[in-house]
Structures are given as structure tokens and as C-alpha cells.
Amino acid sequence: MKSSTVVTLANTRESYELYVNGILDSWRATGFTLHPRDFFKDLDMPDGDFSYEQPELSESYPTKDGRKYRLTSSVVSYGRKNGKYWIQIKETDPEGELKNSIFWNQAREPMDDESKPLHPIVTRIWSHLSNNGEFEKWIMYWFDMIDQSDEENEIIDEANVLNEVVQADVKESMSVDDWVLFCLREIKENMLLLNKSWEKVTD
């Protein structure tokens, strides 16, 4: 990478780390804790048991299949059964079929001891449900592609996102530096969409 690109990358990475640390510091200062049940606190819900599923797939976003990224979309459903909340997230597989990706059931996995480390399911659920979740997924994808491309000294785009946004001849003419700058522009655009207020991240 050119020296100017290295500087831009370092500054962009630092800005994102400041955002992440700022959110975490705000949560710690206010005693906020992540838990799936908090998703339900401000919902207008009927009494008794109920279930709801989003009517449409989400926008595409990158996810990891094993060690490699691919694009997927998701549908969130949630409800209450026998007085206990549940959340299910289904994602499309490579063939476009919806498959169960995450399921949390308060009755089976209450996780009420907040002194314990966060369960991986909890962090994955919040990644889907928070206002910033989609943007954060894209930001991490672009950072990962930059790091891999720099290490291999070639354009690495595991989810083939570039094919969707530029013509083939443009892609062929791109250098690694061009690609890194493209990724950085995408990161900055997503960072502009992030809500920096910790309260709004979870509304």
C-alpha cells in the first residue's frame, strides 16, 4: 500500500475503535447490560402468548461460513410462550433458503446471572437487533478484506461484493491500493450511519 493509504487506514481504524470503546464505556458507566429480554422492554405486545415474524428479508450483509465470508439476508421472529420470551433469527444459505441461525429461549436458557461473561448467543442476537448491527457487520468485513489483501498483496473480496458494484473491466484494472481505498470509502460511509448515542444503539 502507498504510505498515504497506510495513514488513512490507521486513522480510520482508530476512529472506529474510538466509537466501539465509547459505546462500551457508556454501557459500563450506566450499568447497562446486554440481554435478549431487553429487546422486549419497549415493544407494544399483546397479553399472553404471541408470535411475530418480520414480513420481509433484511438487506444483504456479510456473514462467515466457517472461515470465509458470504452474503446473506435474515428474518427475525420473536414471541412469548408460557410467559417466557423467545427470539429466532433465520439466515439464507448459499442457495437462498432460510435456515435457523440463532434461537434463544428464555425458559431454556435464562442466563439471568449478569455476573457471568456474555453468552455468544447474546452477542450474536444483539448484532442483529441493534440499530448499528448491519453497519458494524459491513465495517468489519471491509477491514478484514483490507488486512487479507494487504497480507496476500492481491485483491481479496470473499463475498464477491465488488462484482455487484463495478464493471468487470474496472475490477481488472484495480490495484491493491485502489481496492483498499475503495474499502476505506465503504467503511467511512457506514461509519457515518452509525448512531453514536449508546441509548439509541439499543432502542
Q: Which of 66, 83, 117 is the endpoint of a domain? A: 117
Residues 102 and 144 occupy one common structural domain:
no
Answer yes or no: do 13 and 80 share one domain.
no
- Predicted TM-score of the model (pTM): 0.84
Let me know whether 55 and 102 are in one domain.
yes
In a domain, 124, yes or no: no
Q: Which residue among 63, 94, 117 closes a domain?
A: 117
Is there a single domain that holds both residue 25 and residue 43? no
Final residue before a domain boundary, out of 117, 144, 176: 117
In this structure, is residue 143 part of a structural domain? yes
Query: Are residues 3 and 59 located together in one domain of the fold?
Result: no
Both 22 and 85 in a single domain?
Answer: no
Q: Can you give the pLDDT at residue 34? A: 61
Per the document, the length of the chain is: 203
Q: Count structural domains, the chain.
A: 2
Confidence class of residue 201 from pLDDT cuts 50, 70 and 90?
Answer: very low
**Are 164 and 100 in the same domain?**
no
41 and 100, same domain (yes or no): yes
Same domain, 98 and 153: no
pLDDT for res 202: 44
Q: Are 126 and 104 in contact (CB under 8 A)?
A: no
pLDDT band at 24 (very low <50, low <70, confident <90, very high): low
Strand partners, 91: 74, 99
Instruction: Give yes or no for a contact between 49 and 79, defined as CB atoms under 8 angstroms apart.
Output: yes
**Contact between residue 80 and residue 45 where contact means Cβ atoms under 8 Å apart:** yes
| Most confident option among 32-41, 62-71, 100-109, 119-128 | 62-71
Q: Determine the pLDDT at residue 163.
A: 83
In a domain, 125, yes or no: no
Host domain of residue 56: 36-117
Residues 99 and 163 in one domain: no
**Is 40 found in the same domain as 28?**
no
Whether the Cβ atoms of residue 132 and residue 156 lie closer than 8 Å to each other: no
d(CA 197, CA 142): 23
**Residue at 180 is within a domain:** yes
